[in-house]
A and B are shown apart, each in its own frame.
Chain A
């Protein structure tokens, strides 16, 4: 990629595309963006396709066990012996059992909380407070019928060119 030479005194820039909407994929972009801001970098996040749901006032992201065949499941409570077992989740079970996603999501959230991991909403708040630009993809909004009113305050709207204009001068570009 052609890049314009930047002065060393300018802050490093991170440009990040968030394209997934499940809970396991929601964490990475917000962890990286909030940490980059803490490390005094400039950050812009472009939310497109299912990533757009991460801008909604209430994030309803769930884990999708049947899309993650390697995902181990652990029970985050009870006797230590029980907690240490990695329960295999057969695809047949995870796709057909009603409410399985909800159970898996609840277990994962409990495991996160127990391990002192922030919630996705907390990380998103930190991003906003740190001046991270959150850009919603207008094309996907039109396709999915999502309005700006569905989003939290402070979200910018834009298309591919808006993101690329920023990314062209970025030191790090990530697609998640």
Chain B
């Protein structure tokens, strides 16, 4: 994948549902439109949850990757 340059980094490793989504939502609300947050989680529910969160809120999930028990998401604020 092409490297996405994030404006914010959010470390949610070690946190469980619903904290990764709550923290992501908080960070996004403080960002400007068009900015990108990179969120890293170890919660396997994040795959489905981030998808649902972005579809509901309209923020764009640009890319995601998984490996080594970590899940990385790039989300652009709309």
Contacts and interface: CB of A to CB of B under 8 A. Distances in A.
B6 to A, nearest CB: 20
Nearest to A38: B25
B16 A115 contact: yes
B contacts with A: majority SS: helix
A31 B52 CA distance: 15
Of listed A31, A34, A38, residue having the most chain B CB within 10 A: A38
B56 A35 contact: no
Contacts of B24: 38
Contacts of B1: none
Nearest to A32: B18
Contacts, number: 39
Nearest to A112: B16
Contact of A31 (B18, B25, B56): B18
Contact of B22 (A12, A35, A41): A35
Contacts of B16: 115-117
Interface residues of A, number: 14
Nearest to B42: A116
Contact of A39 (B15, B17, B42, B56): B56
Contacts of B17: 31, 117
Contacts of B19: 116-118
Contact of A116 (B15, B26, B52): B15
A176 to B, nearest CB: 15
